[in-house]
Chains A and B, each alone.
Chain A
Amino acid sequence: DTAVSQTPKYLVTQMGNDKSIKCEQNLGHDTMYWYKQDSKKFLKIMFSYNNKELIINETVPNRFSPKSPDKAHLNLHINSLELGDSAVYFCASSPLYWANYGYTFGSGTRLTVV
């Protein structure tokens, strides 16, 4: 069983389209995150939800909207996609909103905007 699963693994789309990435964790964790990894491999946090409540909302364009229907799911919807949105997006989860327990990451969604 995959602990943190993301779909799709690859997403190629045209500029201006709207797309969603889904994430589910079966670890019973309370907190989930979205990270963006750019071409230089730097991991930048975008959002964090704790038990369906938004905790972290970094300086991310409002074209990005996370949604957490329950604590096991955190989806990311992106409107009006731009070329600069091309990156690998990682979902992660942790037992509590305390980083010292470590995060469990999904295997990533490679988004390519053409």
Chain B
Amino acid sequence: GQQLNQSPQSMFIQEGEDVSMNCTSSSIFNTWLWYKQDPGEGPVLLIALYKAGELTSNGRLTAQFGITRKDSFLNISASIPSDVGIYFCAGQGSGSRLTFGEGTQLTVNP
């Protein structure tokens, strides 16, 4: 089956710093999605990417769909304490099933 490798597994940063995380796949994906999970809640969709090379922003968040269609990254600029949570990448391949990465736990120190 398709696998997603997400890195880093965890990050500890100071408020105001920029953050970058990425996902790579062993196979081609048609869609990349980025989710955030707050403690005690379900994942919430942040950004959806549909075309290779696509760069999309949502406020301080920017994500890109890799040209090879096997990777994606998410950047968070000028982090704030409420950015704390687990960030998941997810991809849809040749089938319609969504595959999730293992998550990046982000901690922001004030």
Contact = CB atoms under 8 A, between A and B. Distances in A.
Interface of A: 4, 40-43, 45, 48, 56, 90, 92, 97-100, 102-108
Given A102-B48, A103-B45, A105-B43, A56 B92 contact: no
Contacts, number: 54
A6 B103 CA distance: 23
Interface of B: 30-31, 33, 37, 40-45, 48, 50, 86, 88, 90, 92, 96-98, 100, 102-103, 105
B interface SS class: strand
Contact of A102 (B37, B41, B45, B97): B45
Contact of A99 (B41, B90, B102): B90
Given A40-B102, A42-B103, A100-B92, A106 B42 contact: yes
A8 B74 CA distance: 33
Contacts of B86: 41
Given A42-B103, A45-B97, A97-B96, 12 more contacts: A40-B102, A43-B43, A43-B100, A45-B98, A56-B97, A98-B96, A102-B45, A103-B45, A104-B45, A105-B43, A105-B44, A107-B41
A43 B88 CA distance: 9
B54 to A, nearest CB: 12
Nearest to B41: A107
Contacts of A42: 100, 102-103
A45 B31 CA distance: 18
Contact of B40 (A45, A56, A108): A108
B102 A108 contact: no
Contacts of B103: 41-43
A97 B37 CA distance: 23
A90 B102 contact: no
A99 B97 contact: yes
Contacts of B90: 99
Contact of B42 (A48, A92, A97, A100): A92
A99 B45 contact: no
